[in-house]
Each structure stands twice: as C-alpha cells, then as structure tokens.
C-alpha cells in the first residue's frame, strides 16, 4: 500500500465576476497515492480544470484544503500540461523544451543531458533545431511533455492533453505518452472526456457530478493486459465492463 501524496478535503470554490457567483466545486474530497495514475471524468463545465488549477496553486480554495505529502515534508514539484501545447513558434524545439529550465535558472550541463536523452527516447532528436510548425501534432505534444518533465515534477497534472489531436493520432500518441509517464513512475492526474483513455491508462477513475463538482463515483481499474502496450488495454476482458459502468454513471449525471 503506497502512501498518499495528495489529499483534498471538503474543498469548495466559487468564481466571482460582474454577473455574480459561479459555484464551481462543492464539498469535494479525494486522495491520490504516490505513483498512482488517476483519471478524472465529468460533464463538460463541471469544474475539472478548476480542480487542477487549485492543486497547482493558481487558485485558492474558498473552503476546505489540499494537503501534500512530499518527500522530507517538502511540497512536491507539480507539472501542469494543458490541452493546447503552447509551444512558442519563434523558438526551436530545443529552446522550447528547455524553456522551463531556463526560466528557473536550472539549465545546467547535467539537465541538458537529461533533456537530450528524453528527446532521443521520444524520437525527437532530429527535430531539435526545427520550429514547432514543422512537427506533427503528436510530436508537438511529446515536446510539450518533455518541457514539463524536464523540471522533474513529482505530480503531473494533465488537462485533456490529447483533445487537440485528430482521432487516429490521438489513439497512438495518448497510449505512447501514458506509457512514458507510467515508466517514469510519476503520480498523474489526467482529465479526459475520453472514457477509453481513462479505463486504458488509469489505476482509478473518478467520476464527478455536474457543477458544482463533487465525487459521484469511483472505480479502481484492474485490467488483465495481453501485453505491455496500453493500446491493447482495450482488448482486456474487463475493459468493456468498466467502460459501460462509467458510461452509465456519466450519462446519469449529464441528464
């Protein structure tokens, strides 16, 4: 049994603007274990992105709390990757993937080596000097991932990271990236509206209620995988059972 790295307790959050208050999250509680791959699904607009922004510290809870249990009592490093890759067109791929390190004054010889190794592992070495527009959607997504991973976060927050890709690309790129992240042993929170991604990649799937978000249901996932490819997870005997149960919970919530 691994220990918790993150615990959210009775969290509530509202947005305030000229039109008044929007309650985005209400009495939300869940925990994440170290090294766990957690997928979160929920109706559109229910507050999923807001949860990640709260975890990343970009927003402050109105009520309740988020507790981190990092190594040596330190706050764990958090990497946040969004739907659109946000690579900068005026910088080369190398300059893009090292941007975070550069900003944090950590572009040491050792870190440059690590980034070079990731570029090689992810099949991007030959594209170091190219501009983002010269790469395919999947390659750009891998470059964005390298930029996030270069800072060696302990917790990775992924907000619908594959939704900008076309279906065919998405199938392979998402499985590819999920495999890379799993191998790196990171704790992951993946927000996705693709139930097959959630069931194929995650150790546990949380289903959120409609806005304001709270946890509606939770499914630990255990698949008997025919091989180590996550694409093959769709062929696991347990796959369709999970898919259907999550689908039912979600449609129940969306109606």
Phi, psi (deg, nearest 5) at residue 26: -135, 120
- DSSP-derived secondary structure letter, 209: P
d(CA 64, CA 207) in angstroms, rounded, equals 20
CB neighbours of residue 193 within 10 Å:
14
Does 17 interact with ligand ADP (rule: CB under 6 A)? yes
- Tell the burial category of 253 from Cβ atoms under 10 Å away from its Cβ (0-12, 13-18, 19+): middle
CB neighbours of residue 188 within 10 Å:
24
**Of 26, 140, 147, 211, which lies in the binding site for ligand ADP, with binding defined by CB under 6 A?**
211
Nearer to Mg ion, 48 or 140 (CB): 48
State in angstroms the smallest separation of the CB of 159 from Mg ion: 6
Does 50 interact with ligand ADP (rule: CB under 6 A)? yes
State in angstroms the smallest separation of the CB of 35 from ligand ADP: 25
Which residue, 184, 196, 177, 161, is CA-closest to 35? Answer: 184
**Of 2, 3, 44, 168, which lies in the binding site for ligand ADP, with binding defined by CB under 6 A?**
44
Nearer to ligand ADP, 224 or 254 (CB): 254
Does 45 interact with ligand ADP (rule: CB under 6 A)? yes
* Virtual torsion, Cα 223, 245, 53, 111, nearest 10 deg: 10
Name which of Mg ion, ligand ADP, none residue 24 binds, using a CB cut-off of 5 to 8 Å depending on partner kind. Answer: ligand ADP
d(CA 126, CA 112) in angstroms, rounded, equals 16
Nearer to ligand ADP, 96 or 192 (CB): 192
Does 88 interact with ligand ADP (rule: CB under 6 A)? no
State in angstroms the smallest separation of the CB of 44 from ligand ADP: 5
State in angstroms the smallest separation of the CB of 220 from Mg ion: 24
Residues 45 and 211: beta-carbon distance below 8 Å: yes
Nearest-10 crossing angle of helices 167-183, 137-149: 20
CB neighbours of residue 6 within 10 Å:
23
State in angstroms the smallest separation of the CB of 60 from ligand ADP: 13
Does 163 interact with ligand ADP (rule: CB under 6 A)? no
Name which of Mg ion, ligand ADP, none residue 141 binds, using a CB cut-off of 5 to 8 Å depending on partner kind. Answer: none
Q: Could you tell me which stretch among 45-53, 75-83, 133-141, 225-233 binds ligand ADP (CB under 6 A)? A: 45-53
**Of 26, 48, 147, 216, which lies in the binding site for ligand ADP, with binding defined by CB under 6 A?**
48
Q: Site residues (CB under 6 A) for ligand ADP?
A: 15, 17, 22, 24, 42, 44-50, 211
């Amino acid at each position: 049994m691994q220990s918790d790295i993150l615990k959210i307790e009775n969290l509530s959050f509202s947005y305030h603007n000229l039109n008044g208050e929007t309650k985005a999250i209400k009495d939300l509680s869940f925990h994440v274990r170290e090294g766990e791959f957690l997928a979160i699904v929920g109706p559109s607009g229910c507050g999923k992105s807001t949860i990640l922004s709260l975890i990343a510290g970009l927003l402050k809870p109105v009520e309740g709390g988020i507790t981190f249990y990092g190594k040596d009592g330190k706050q764990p490093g958090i990497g946040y990757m969004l739907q659109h890759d946000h690579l900068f067109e005026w910088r080369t791929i190398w300059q893009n993937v090292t941007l975070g390190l550069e900003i944090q004054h950590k572009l040491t010889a050792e870190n440059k080596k690590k980034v070079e190794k990731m570029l090689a592992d992810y099949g991007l070495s030959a594209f170091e000097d190219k501009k983002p527009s010269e790469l395919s959607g999947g390659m750009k997504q891998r470059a964005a991932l390298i930029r996030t991973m270069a800072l060696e976060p302990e917790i990775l927050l992924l907000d619908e990271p594959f939704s900008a890709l076309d279906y065919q690309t998405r199938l392979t790129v998402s499985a590819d990236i999920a495999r890379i992240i799993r191998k790196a042993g990171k704790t992951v929170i993946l927000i996705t509206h693709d139930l097959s991604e959630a069931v194929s990649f995650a150790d546990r799937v949380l289903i959120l209620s409609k806005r304001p978000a709270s946890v509606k249901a939770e499914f630990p996932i255990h698949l008997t995988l025919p091989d180590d490819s996550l694409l093959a997870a769709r062929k696991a005997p347990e796959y369709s059972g999970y898919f259907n149960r999550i689908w039912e919970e979600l449609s129940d919530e969306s109606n």
